[in-house]
Structures are given as structure tokens and as C-alpha cells.
Amino acid sequence: MVSFIIVHYKTFTYTKNAIESIVKYMVDFPYEIILVDNASLDGSLEKLEHNFKDLIYKENLILVESSENKGFSSGNNIGFQIAKGDYYVLINSDAELTGTTVQKAVEYLEMNPAIGALSARVINEHGELDEACKRGFPDPISSLYYYLRLGKLFPKESKYNQYKLNHLNEYDRHNVDAISGAFMVIPRCVLEETGTFDETFFMYGEDLDLCFRIKEKGYLICYNPDLGNVIHYKGQSGKRLKIKTTYEFYRAMCVFYNKHYKEVYPLFVGWIIKASIWTLFGVKMTFGQLKTLLVHRK
């Protein structure tokens, strides 16, 4: 059996579409959907319960209501505790299946036990690749090249594209460092070895950290576009908490560095990294506020 885990926060329409896509394409394949509501408190969970009464009755859909929003990592961890499947499918509330991707993923994992986590080709609503579904780890050097835009200047040079991996053909299968938590298939036995998400990450970075730990256990992380496409309408939950999500995006960089690179690089490198991260945060927030003011003036 496959256990889908969806963390929901005030995204009724997107979550409804995500569930409907699962029902549509998981025909004749045993599955359950664990829907964890992160204290939406807007009536959306009740509406989902009303829309999917039959699914709940058949025990294909299990609703879990959290009393407070402790973040994406915590929500998924609640789902992991309840899930009964041999494979976990993490899928964002604002993502949709477009075919029998999950069945193909399970078959591929069964044939390749060295793989610890697997992703399909994740695209946005315009059909463009969501680059987070195949990427490298953001170590200081690859991050520097990324922020200096050297990958844009030298798109075919692997040296300058180690974070976004844009030099790798998106239509070919690749073993990579990390894939996106927007759509990720993980065998249960792997997660039992690595542990679940680190809840120090509120949102952002938790998928990178989990992939890092999976690779530390000797497993491969695989991006496989042959499985099909998954559509990701990116950032729908985060729109409701814009300042909070922006802060958490940059905080996650510091958490990831402290956890995996702090002991590898000299102390002064850490100071530079953290100063750069919070400078970027400040610039982002300043320009965001200016943009808001200009929009309101119009």
C-alpha cells in the first residue's frame, strides 16, 4: 500500500484538486491519504470533509486536525506516524498528479532498492520545470556560484551549476543530491533508518536535510522524468504568511549550514555565510515593502 501525506493550510481548492487527482489515477492500487490540517481555522477542513465523505467512509482518506501550526515538517511527521503504507508519497497540497506516476514510482523503487528517495518531473502551471525537483546541496561554493549567477553565464558548465543542476537535461534520469518535498516517494524502510523530518525547519530546507541524511545512509536520490509529470502550483500556503515564509526561507539556510557544514568550514566562513543570508533577507523585505507601497499608491 501507498500512503500519501498532504499538509494542508487554508488551500481548500488546491487541496481538493490534489485529492481528486490521487483518486483519479490510483485506480486498482491500494492507497490511503493522510491529510494533516495545520490549524487552518477557516472552515476549509470541514469543507474537505463534506466533499470527500465517501473517501473517508472507505478509509482511503484520514483527516487529522492540529491545534496549532507547527510547520510543514511537523505536519508531515504527524502523517508519518499514522501512515500504514510500504511507501510514503509526500505531495504538496498545491500539487496534482497527471497520470499513473506513483504506480510507476513504486515499480521503479522495487526494481532499484539502492534508491532512498525518488521524484518525477515536477512542473509549474506553465509546464516549466520546478528546479527544486533536481538539485545539489547548497554548500558554500555552489551557493556562491549560484548567487553570482555564474550558472546563467555558463549554463553547460557543471562547475557553476552544482546547486540548480541546470546543466543536466530535465528529460533524462539522474542521480542527484536532493529532490523536492512537493513530490517525493520514499520507501518506509528507508525512513525507518534515517528518521523523519527535522522540525527545526519550520518550512523550507527540511527536504534538503532529509535527502542529506538519506545519502549519508548510502542510498541514492533519483530524479526520474520517465515517471511522468506532477504539477506544482508553487507557494499557495505561503501566500497567507508572506513575511513569516520569507523569514523561514532564509532561516532554513542558516539551520542547514549549522547542521551540515559548520564543522567542515572555518569559523569565519560561517560568519560570512550567515551575514550574507540575513543581508539577502533584509534586501528582500525592503524591496518587498517598497513594491507593496507602490502598488497601493496606484
In angstroms, the CA 291 to CA 244 distance is: 18
pTM for the whole structure: 0.93
pLDDT tens digits along 134-177 = 999 999 999 999 999 999 999 999 999 999 999 999 999 999 99
User: What are the angstrom distances between the C-alpha of 220 and each of 135, 155, 176?
Assistant: 13, 25, 8
pLDDT higher than threshold 80 for residue 230? yes
Q: Which residue has the cell 522495487?
A: 110
Query: 20: which DSSP letter?
Result: H
H/E segment holding residue 210: helix 206-216
Q: What percent of the chain has pLDDT over 90?
A: 87
From CA 269, how far away is CA 266, in angstroms rounded? 6
With the C-alpha atoms ordered 167, 171, 173, 178, is the resulting torsion angle positive or negative?
positive
CATH fold, domain 2-134+170-234, is Spore Coat Polysaccharide Biosynthesis Protein SpsA; Chain A (3.90.550)
- Measured CA to CA, the distance from residue 47 to residue 200 in angstroms comes to 31
pLDDT tens, 58-104? 999 999 999 899 999 999 999 999 999 999 999 999 999 999 999 99
194-217 average pLDDT score: 97
> Coil, helix or strand for 69?
coil
